[in-house]
């Protein structure tokens, strides 16, 4: 059997577009050339792959069986090419990183800046989602790594999870307004009585704070609901209300004042997840090392409200 990658590319394109002419245009081939490729593939396999009609082409049963195999073979070939390029000194490659919105405006910004400075030829992509959605994207092969703050019961089986940081949630207010607490901490009941800005329901933080208020039998005084992280920080700076946020987002934000929660103290663990059944490329390994190094630096800058997580 003499099946080659060019034939598989042509087959997948025709299967996706349902038309030889459009597939040839996409592949920058003459339509007769593509037809000959597919005919040669069918001859080598001993099966007709397409029902050809004036209105277009559809897969036969044999074509439907071949399609997922062809896609996997092409993906494996692409992975091999990237691996060989990376072995030449990370001169080429790609890293697909996912992170929650709160991490994207803090830790991830520094991670990507540091990584790009050292490896400018590596292609980077970022998915900004909630933790559960990121784990779904990781499982489906859309991401190489994900920075998450929650995980479901199946995570240990499906992913390699490396705890990076344990971070306190703090109450923030405008630095231009009087302090909201006399001492170094404030309890949840006192926070509930203050005008509060709360996140969109898609945020993991929203579920954490809602659960804490409910467990204490408290109903917070919400003045604005459904905001994204950047908007919450700006609204608090302008004095619209207070908010409960991760300590990390306060780095380099002089317009905000923070106070720790005393009763109860709320924390979250930031973990790095990657598929447990996929060997990482060299570029992904280097990105993982960059994330770990940057996380330690963040913990040092944020002081006692953030500490490096212990893991095996």
Dig out the tokens for 223 from the structure. Answer: 């003045």
- List pLDDT tens digits, range 154-203: 555 678 899 998 888 999 999 999 999 988 899 999 999 999 999 988 78
Q: Using the predicted structure, report yes or no on whether residue 85 has a pLDDT greater than 50.
A: yes
Q: Using the predicted structure, report yes or no on whether residue 303 has a pLDDT greater than 70.
A: no
Q: Using the predicted structure, report yes or no on whether residue 301 has a pLDDT greater than 90.
A: no
- List pLDDT tens digits, range 220-244: 999 999 888 889 999 999 999 999 9
Contact 108, 126 (CB under 8 A): yes
Residue 109: closest CA among 58, 160, 147, 53: 147
Q: What is the pLDDT of residue 152?
A: 46
Mean residue pLDDT of the chain comes to 87
The strand ranges marked E within 21-177 are: 50-53, 56-59, 94-99, 123-128, 145-148, 159-174
pLDDT band at 262 (very low <50, low <70, confident <90, very high): confident
- List pLDDT tens digits, range 88-135: 556 667 899 999 888 888 889 999 999 998 888 888 999 998 888 899
**Domains in the chain, start-ordered, CATH in brackets?**
5-81 (1.10.10.10), 166-268 (3.40.190.290)
pLDDT band at 153 (very low <50, low <70, confident <90, very high): very low
Q: For residues 5 and 7, what is the distance between their CA atoms, to the nearest angstrom?
A: 5
Contact 47, 4 (CB under 8 A): no
């Amino acid at each position: 059997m003499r099946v080659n990658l060019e034939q598989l590319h042509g087959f997948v394109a025709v299967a996706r577009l349902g038309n030889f002419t459009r597939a040839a245009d996409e592949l920058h081939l003459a339509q007769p050339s593509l037809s000959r490729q597919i005919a040669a593939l069918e001859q080598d396999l001993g099966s007709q792959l397409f029902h050809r009609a004036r209105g277009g082409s559809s897969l036969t049963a044999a074509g439907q069986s071949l399609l997922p195999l062809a896609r996997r073979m092409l993906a494996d070939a692409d992975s091999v090419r990237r691996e060989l390029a990376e072995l030449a000194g990370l001169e080429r490659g790609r890293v697909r990183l996912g992170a929650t919105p709160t991490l994207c405006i803090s830790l991830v910004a520094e991670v990507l800046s540091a990584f790009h400075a050292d490896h400018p030829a590596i292609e980077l992509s970022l998915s900004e989602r909630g933790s559960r959605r990121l784990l779904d994207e990781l499982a489906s092969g859309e991401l190489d790594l994900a920075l998450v703050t929650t995980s479901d019961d199946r995570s240990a089986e499906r992913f390699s999870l490396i705890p990076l940081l344990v971070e306190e949630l703090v109450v923030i207010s405008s630095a231009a307004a009087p302090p909201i607490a006399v001492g170094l901490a404030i309890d949840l009941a006192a926070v509930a009585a203050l005008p509060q800005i709360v996140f969109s329901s898609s945020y993991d933080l929203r579920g954490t704070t809602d659960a804490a208020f409910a467990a204490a039998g408290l109903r917070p005084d919400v003045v604005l609901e459904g905001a994204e992280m950047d908007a919450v920080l700006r609204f608090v700076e302008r004095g619209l209300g207070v908010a409960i946020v991760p300590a990390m987002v306060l780095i380099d934000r002089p317009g905000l004042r923070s106070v720790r929660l005393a009763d109860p103290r709320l924390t979250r663990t930031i973990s790095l997840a990657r598929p447990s059944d996929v060997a990482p490329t060299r570029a992904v390994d280097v990105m993982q090392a960059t994330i770990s190094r940057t996380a330690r630096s963040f913990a040092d800058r944020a002081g006692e409200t953030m500490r490096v997580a212990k893991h095996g």
